[in-house]
Structure 1
Amino acid sequence: MIDQGAAAGLVALVARGDMVHVVAAGARELAAQAPMRRDTLFRIASMTKPVVAAAAMILVEAGALRLDDPVDRWLPELADRRVLRRLDGPLDDTVPAQRPITLRDLMTFRLGLGIIMAPSASYPIQRAIADAGLLPSPIPPAMTPDELVARYGALPLMHQPGERWMYNVGSEILGVLVERVAARPLADFLEARIFTPLGMADTFYVVPPDKRDRLARVYQPGDDGRFVPWTGAPETPVHPGGSTGLVSTVDDYLAFARMLLGGGGRVLKPESVALMTQDHLTPEQKAASPFVPGFWDGRGWGFGLGVTTDPEAALPRGYGWDGGLGTSWRNDPEHGLTGILLTQRPMTSPHMPELATAFWRLAYEAIV
């Protein structure tokens, strides 16, 4: 598939118990003909979301946050919200929010803000989001955490808190909340409470100079079908993102995945892992939350990650999430399986790319 142009390169891992199988293929940089290696660094985009959700659960366990308390104390910009009367209506046609936004709303993407799956200028609220510099991207918004929350606070909610699921914004704001409650930069908190305990020495927002030669170059198909460099990633983000931005390796992310699969280890309690990895959405919320056709068939949403609710309806099984720059991860507790696929080709659809679909099919053919 690499020879046919599915990606410039990949690192793929399947782990079950003490068995770990890794394949590295293709190139991490085409111009230099640099081969892909097991320790190649990848921009994992939305695979950042589960990591930041785990950080929030650390604060819940410490008693610094409660899942169902309003976040107004820490995020006053989001207090006393107004809600659009109609999604396609003018920005000043609003009603009061029926209740405050809670931490659970942020974690389950039910705060009332998120991506609208329609052309980006269809509704006034979409144009306002674009004007505020808040369009979704696999790279964190180019603004400080305070600016990020202030700009969201200046917008009306699209739906009442708790009413329906909307992708992405919950994690963006969650990163700021973790930073404010922990009273330290998000990157520092993740390093101290997750990366260091798990031995994740190759996971960070900013790649150190002595490791930049291991970073996979991101490529997208050009007009002639050949890969050209993707120029959307700055060397140094303005701030670490709660929804995206981390760089990692297949072995580092395996350490995080195994922590969850093993019930939390030294990072979380088993009860926290159980909360993160169960479906929190009602059938009514799924019915009111179109993302892409068939998205909710056999699926649900936990805290910052997707959950397979019907193992006969979809692969991969278990829980996990994908990244918009071509990465995919799942834990399958039933089979004790972890799968991680890292590529450097941006996704062009919310649907899983053919290469990832083939990876998961092959992984399950070996055990099911």
Structure 2
Amino acid sequence: MTLHKAMAARIESGGFPGIVTLVARGDDVRVDTIGTTAFGGDVPMRRDTVFRIASLTKPVLAAATMILVEDDLIDLEEPIHRLLPELAGQRVLARIDGPLDDTVPAVRPVTIEDLLTFRMGFGTLTEPTFNPPFPIVEAAEKLRLVLAEPDPRTPHDPDEWIRRFATLPLMYQPGERWLYNAGTLVLGVLLARAAGQPLGDLLRERLFDPLAMAETGFWLPAERAAQLPSYYMTDSETNEMKDRTATTPPTVWSSPPVFPSGSGGLVSTVDEYHSFARMLLRRGVHGGTRLLSEQSVELMTTNRLTPEQSATGGTILGNSGWGLGMAVAVTPSPPAAAPGQYGWSGGYGTHWFNDPHEELTAIAMTQVTDFMWNGAMKEFRELAYT
């Protein structure tokens, strides 16, 4: 079955209202637009449809980090408290389900690399359930830090957010486990301070403008924001697909956010994200201009985790390793996860990978979370090779 037929069949069966896919090998770029932007709607998916890309933000943030490393503004091995003094002296829970005042000293400071590799000692818990009702989880929720799902958004600006986060102990020792999401939230605050400018301005000047990513950012003009597709996810209790657009309505995307999320705050189009992905595939070069060194791209796309740390990633990480801000395939499972393949997914239903061995880039964009776990994403990954 071709990729088009497979995705069209899923739309026909109600899996999602529409999708935009891009598969590129070298200069051969094939974009397919199928379906509509909403169930029952009459607005077709277009090549320039803008999507909430959620965690596809993370690889972009990693690239910005390496740009500042190359500028000698930061170092991957340096403790984060130089730029985030609020976090100096953070202690560690004696046990993950214990009281917040039962802590031990950290064995070492958290580094910038720890933030990128999600080994800072704090993040989304998946055991025994997703965000279990432990005191540390409930305390973070009371502080309205929004450490897991990106919406509804935190009301705090970066300085207030980091001040509140600093009142919490770490969940685990730095370097001990892979824990999702919180690291890049902290990193976004750190990068803005290192660059001396808001995170959105940093990304715009150093990545989006050079890559001609005009509509990628933390917000959109009102008329473009109004065109964002509806967002859906199946209710786990009723098993019914529900419209969740109210948690991330187009209106909230029409002005700069109070807290620009380095974990999941960007919007983009399939072609613009391809511009970023192609730059990585070409080892840091775009249109004859080098944006990142080959060494930086190598660091980003090489697994940094031990097998034991990969295992702590649970269902989020699966069987992958993790580089800087993105997953890296480490076990042979061709063609869907050939070793050396790298990329990531966004929780609203977006996915990207590069396979440097095949000179292949594949991107899929929907706004249906189910795309990632109902078999559609796996099918997309496999058929992108055909």
> Is this a same-fold pair by TM over 0.5?
yes
What is the SS of the residue equivalent to 1:260?
helix
Out of 296, 305, 319, which is 2:326 matched to? 305
- The answer to whether the aligner puts 1:137 opposite 2:157 as a matched pair is no
Seen in structure 2, the aligned counterparts of structure 1 residues 343 and 225 have a Cα distance that, compared at 3 Å, is: same
Rounded Cα–Cα distance in structure 2 between residues aligned with 1:313 and 1:83:
40
Q: Which residue of 2 aligns with 1:50?
A: 59
Instruction: Tell me the CA shift for residue 211 of structure 1.
Output: 2.3
- The answer to whether the aligner puts 1:122 opposite 2:133 as a matched pair is yes
Out of 83, 87, 107, which is 1:98 matched to? 107
Rounded Cα–Cα distance in structure 1 between residues aligned with 2:239 and 2:187:
40
Out of 296, 321, 342, which is 1:272 matched to? 296
Read off the aligned partner of 2:155 and give its amino acid letter.
A
Q: Which residue of 1 aligns with 2:48?
A: 39
- The answer to whether the aligner puts 1:240 opposite 2:260 as a matched pair is yes
- The answer to whether the aligner puts 1:230 opposite 2:245 as a matched pair is yes
Seen in structure 2, the aligned counterparts of structure 1 residues 314 and 161 have a Cα distance that, compared at 3 Å, is: farther
Q: TM-score, normalization: structure 2?
A: 0.88
Q: How does 1:297-336 map to 2 (within 5 A)?
A: 297=319, 299-312=320-333, 315-317=336-338, 318-336=341-359
Instruction: Tell me the CA shift for residue 202 of structure 1.
Output: 1.7
Rounded Cα–Cα distance in structure 1 between residues aligned with 2:92 and 2:141:
18
Q: Which residue of 2 aligns with 1:168?
A: 181
Rounded Cα–Cα distance in structure 2 between residues aligned with 1:4 and 1:224:
15
Read off the aligned partner of 2:33 and give its amino acid letter.
A
Q: How does 1:145-294 map to 2 (within 5 A)?
A: 145-221=158-234, 225=240, 228-233=243-248, 234-235=252-253, 236=255, 237-265=257-285, 266-287=290-311, 289-292=312-315
Rounded Cα–Cα distance in structure 2 between residues aligned with 1:245 and 1:28:
20
Contact 1:39 1:214 in 2 (8 A): no
Rounded Cα–Cα distance in structure 2 between residues aligned with 1:310 and 1:39:
35
**Which runs of 5 or more residues in structure 1 are unaligned?**
none
What is the SS of the residue equivalent to 2:21?
strand
Rounded Cα–Cα distance in structure 2 between residues aligned with 1:76 and 1:347:
40
Contact 1:82 1:157 in 2 (8 A): yes
Rounded Cα–Cα distance in structure 1 between residues aligned with 2:33 and 2:313:
36
Q: Which residue of 1 aligns with 2:383?
A: 362
Instruction: Tell me the CA shift for residue 141 of structure 1.
Output: 2.7
Contact 2:155 2:258 in 1 (8 A): yes
What is the SS of the residue equivalent to 1:190?
helix
Q: Which residue of 1 aligns with 2:366?
A: 343
Contact 2:335 2:382 in 1 (8 A): no
Rounded Cα–Cα distance in structure 2 between residues aligned with 1:243 and 1:179:
14
Aligned-residue Cα RMSD (Å) equals 2.0
Q: TM-score, normalization: structure 1?
A: 0.93
Rounded Cα–Cα distance in structure 2 between residues aligned with 1:251 and 1:56:
23
Rounded Cα–Cα distance in structure 2 between residues aligned with 1:82 and 1:227:
41
Read off the aligned partner of 1:41 and give its amino acid letter.
V
Seen in structure 2, the aligned counterparts of structure 1 residues 109 and 221 have a Cα distance that, compared at 3 Å, is: closer
Report how many residues are paired. Answer: 360
Q: Which residue of 2 aligns with 1:66?
A: 75
**Which runs of 5 or more residues in structure 2 are unaligned?**
1-9
Q: Which residue of 1 aligns with 2:24?
A: 15
Contact 1:8 1:227 in 2 (8 A): no
Seen in structure 2, the aligned counterparts of structure 1 residues 327 and 184 have a Cα distance that, compared at 3 Å, is: same
